[in-house]
Structure 1
Amino acid sequence: MTSSGEYTVSETARAAGISRQAYYKWLNRRLSLREQQEREVLEEIKRIENGIKIVLDTIRWFVY
């Protein structure tokens, strides 16, 4: 564990039962078309959610 309380890559990989190399290979992999589409959908959901929060906060501000 680092001085900031975070785990190192080596410690995390060991706890997961994988090598550091496997972790970095996974980290740097190319996303499949499906994964790319899922990320795009998730970003759109977050964008809509943020817009809804702004609208609701504005309504609350005017009501109170």
Structure 2
Amino acid sequence: MGINDERDIEANLQIGPTDQGMVRLFIEAGSAEIPMDFEPEEAEEIAEEIMAAARAARARK
């Protein structure tokens, strides 16, 4: 399965700082919980990638 394959799965995404100075993306889908911690610089790179993807998606409409 790739990024363009649709799935009928509901998930919850939470984003916030940890007490250790990391940025945590916490994904919950059904019984699965996935905490993902990133250095602040990595989180900024991810944010830039999300913004670029949003611009590209907007351009396709």
TM-score, normalising length: structure 1: 0.38
TM normalised by structure 2 equals 0.40
Whose Rg is larger? 1
- The one of the two structures with greater contact order (alpha-carbon pairs below 8 A, sep at least 6) is 2
Structure with more helix by fraction = 1
